[in-house]
Structures are given as structure tokens and as C-alpha cells.
Amino acid sequence: MNSPIKPKGPLYPTNLSDQPQVIRLHHSKILALFRALDGLLILIMLWLVLRVLQIEWGSAYAALAMGAVITFGFFAEGNEIYYLWRGYSMTSLASRIVIAWLLTAMMILLAFSTLISFKKLELEPVILWLTLTPEVMIAMHWARRVILAKIRSNPSEPRRVAIVGANDLGARMTKSIADTPWLGYRVVGFYDDRISGEQDDRRIDMSSHGVPVSGDLDQLYTDAHAGKIDIVFLTLPMRAEFRIHSVINRLADTTVTPYVIPDVFNFDLLHSRLTCIQGIPALSIYDSPLVDNSLVKRLEDLVIGLAMLIALAVPMMIIAVGVKLTSKGPIFFKQTRYGMRGEHIKVWKFRSMTVCEDGDHVTQAKKGDMRVTRFGNFLRRTSLDELPQLFNVLSGSMSLVGPRPHAVAHNEYYRGQIKGYMLRHKVKPGITGLAQINGYRGETETLDKMSGRIAYDLEYIRNWSLLLDLKILWGTLFKGFVGQHAY
């Protein structure tokens, strides 16, 4: 009798690294469900409003509802409503829903006033529907979080978390878990081999965070084998690669789920984004918010910029006449500045000086500068000399809101003096910006003043949103036009 054929090797590999490795994105089935429910809610809310007002549901209302579902889905994706960004507060989620719905409402009202089929609709039910829908939607998402928090915090099925690394990142992780009870996580302890108080060591006292240091790594393995831990978050510094490998390899002999939390916050992140390329995770350190939002930003510039140009056309013509009558030279002054990605652009201004400097050596205007004309002094103090930059905005070389463009000569000087200076060119320069409404307008004669301006510029890029742009434009009306240091 023939003996069975024996395999040449093990049926399953013992070394997981021998297999092609990819990282899959985590998808939430609950968020996918609520994406569909939000669309259904938009339809139901319009139907209910029509029913209450005793208005017949017709094809025009059906088209309106379907258009709103599609439009809201687009803006909701842009505002990351259904992304699994665990840790967003309910206030943050509500603001994202409101912004997405406001943009949807703007599109709906635009269609309402232009398309012939929509002119058959009555305005009262549409306004009522646009008002009530986001409130009900927010309430539904709030209920989701409350219910999930109740279910996941059930003590009969805890998700016990251990954190390896008694350091700042570990403390931040603990706070994030405490702030998101709907995740159902409970930190049971920190584990760290390092001795508290050692020099050149980042271990910190965790007593103030309400979670004890339960022991060293040997104790971690003991507790993991005893079934006292479900999840392990490794918050060790990136330089501790060997220790991270060692912990993960030993945890392979348990049933816990380890997560590696890279300590990327040591970098000065600028609008950082996480992406995945064929299963390979990639984290950008210095990124631009316009990578995914360039269309929204451009629409903002075109709509508001064109409206401003129409409203200011007559004052601009009066200013042009004033420039021509009060001094010799051209009405407009074009100076080379750095635009997005450091490209050279020509920035338009009303001429306010007797000279038109544009080269390797440009001297900033100072108090009592003899080059500034009398009419030009008024223009500069009120920022009216900047109005022609609306042409830059409409042509696409500038934006309404962004870091103020500096002369090329100033750029080349300060890029070697201030860390991260050139990062301000990750977005288009603006007519006004976060720095300008916070007092950094006009002359920056000291390095400290320029550093302060750059700090606000980078803060703007780091936290960019359409709502922030609108806040800056509103603030410019009261703070951005007149300044003590504008000469």
C-alpha cells in the first residue's frame, strides 16, 4: 500500500511576512447605513412638509428631493461627515452637517430661481423643508452616538485597552478614549519598562490622567495571556523600532489586537492627511487643504469676488481718477510676488508711491516714508490700494483669503530666517488673511513681527475650511482695513 504523499512544506506559512502584506481601510457599516438614512430622511422630510401643508407631491417636488439627495451627498463627502474620524465631538459633526446642508440649500435656491420646472414649486414648503431637515438629521446622528455609547459601554462585554508607553502620546490617547465613550473602550493601564525620572527619557507621571502604570512589558504579556486585555495601543517613539517589533512578536502568542500609534506629532504637521496606495499607508506631513477642496475654494472666489467687484466698481473708478490727478505715473502698480507653489505672479495695486519698485531690492514702506504720496497714504491706511487684486482673484492667481503675498526680495530673505516660511505658499495668496485680522497688517520691521504673521498663516492652512474663510472675510470688515502699522 502506497504511503500518502507528504507536502514539501507546511500547509500554512509560519512567517506572516512571507505573504504579500496590505493594510485595509476600516469601513464602518453603521456610517454606511446612516449615509443611506440621511438621503432617505431628505425625501421623507419634504414629503411630510407637503403632507402637513396639504400640497400635492408632484414630479417637480420629486426632482427637487432627488437633486437635494445627490447634492448633499457631494457636500457631505467634502465635509467628511461619514468618515471614520473617531473622536470628533458632536458639535463638530453638527457643524459639518450644517455646512453641507447650507451649501445644498444654496444650490437648491439657485435652481429654484432659474430652472423653469422648479418655478412650479411653492416657496413656503421649500423654505420649511430646508430649515427643518438639518435639525432632524443632527438629532438622528446624536441619537446614534448615544445609543452606541450605551451598547458599547455594557460591562458584560468590555473592550479593555492597554497602552504601551507612559508618555505624552499615551496620555493624549487616554484623553481621546475618555472623550469618546461611544467607542466602548476602557483603558485598564499603562505598561512601560522605563524608570520614571530618567534623563533623556520621555516617560511621564500618569497619575494625573487617572490611569495607573500597571507594570513593565513582562506584566503586559502576563495580563494578555490571562485574558485581561483585548486591545493594545503602542505609543512608543518611532526611534524605538526594535522594542515595537519585540512587543508585537510576543503579543502574537496571545489573542489581543495590537495597534501601532506612530508618534508623528513630533513633526509640525501642516494639514496632514492619511491616504492608502494599494494597501500601503502614507501620511503627509506638509500638505495643502486645496488638494481636495480646490473647486470649493475657486467657486467661493468667483462668486464673492465677482459680487465685490460689481459693488466696488464705482469707488474703484473714483480712486483711479484720484491716483491720476494727485501724482505722476500709472494708475496701477504691478509687483512680482510669490504665488502658490512659489510661482511668480504679478499682483495688482493702485499706485500709492512715486516709485514702482519691483526687483531684487524692495524697501518696505515705513512711517513718514517720503515715497508715499498724500493720496497714496490714505489708500494704504484704508487698504483701498489692494482693491485691484480682485482682478488677481478672478484670474485665479490669488484668492480672497490666504497668506498675504510678499515681494520676492522679502521672500528670499525671510525663508532663511524663519522655519517653515515657504509652507505659506501651499495655498494661493489672499487679499486678506488670518494674520491681518489679528493685528499683523502693514510693516513687519522686526523678525518677531514677521514670525507672528507666518504663525497665523500656517495656522490658517492647518485649519482651513470654508467657514473659516467666511469668518475672516467678516472680520476684515471690522479689523482688516485699517491698521496702525500700515504706512
Q: What residue ranges do the domains of the chain occupy?
A: 29-152, 159-266, 290-480
The predicted pLDDT at position 13 comes to: 45
User: At 338, which amino acid appears?
Assistant: Y
Name which of 293, 239, 229, 246 is nearest 427 in CA terms. Answer: 293
With beta carbons less than 8 A apart as the criterion, state whether 346 and 336 touch.
Answer: yes
Question: 110-142 in b/e burial notation, b at 16+ Cβ within 10 A?
Answer: ebbeeeeebeebeeebbebbbeebbeebbeebe
Residue 268, CA distances (Å) to 145, 285, 455 in order:
32, 8, 12
CB neighbourhood size of 43 (10 A)? 15
pLDDT score at 203: 59
Q: What ranges make up the beta strands (E) of 171-285?
A: 185-191, 213-215, 231-234, 257-260, 274-277, 280-283
Q: Are strands 274-277 and 280-283 parallel, antiparallel or unpaired?
A: antiparallel
Q: Is the pTM of this model over 0.85?
A: no
User: Average pLDDT by consecutive 10-residue portion of the chain (487 residues)?
Assistant: 44 49 66 88 94 88 90 84 66 86 86 72 88 94 82 68 90 84 82 65 60 87 92 90 91 92 84 78 85 86 93 93 87 88 89 67 59 82 88 95 87 86 92 89 75 92 88 84 50
What is the amino acid identity at position 155? P
CATH class given for the domain over 159-266: alpha beta
Contacts of 444 (CB under 8 A, 6+ apart): 364, 450, 453, 485
pLDDT in tens, 76-110: 887 778 775 555 677 888 888 998 899 898 888 88
The Cα–Cα gap between 50 and 300 comes to: 33
SS (H, E, C) 95-126: HHHHHHHHHHHHHHHHHHHHCCHHHHCCHHHH
3-class SS of residue 174: helix
pLDDT (tens digit per residue) in 96-145: 899 889 989 888 888 777 776 777 788 889 899 999 999 999 999 888 88
306 close to 394: Cβ distance less than 8 angstroms: yes
Residue 214: the pLDDT is 86
Q: What pLDDT, on a 0 to 100 scale, did the predictor assign at position 77?
A: 82
Neighbours of 190 (CB within 10 A): 26
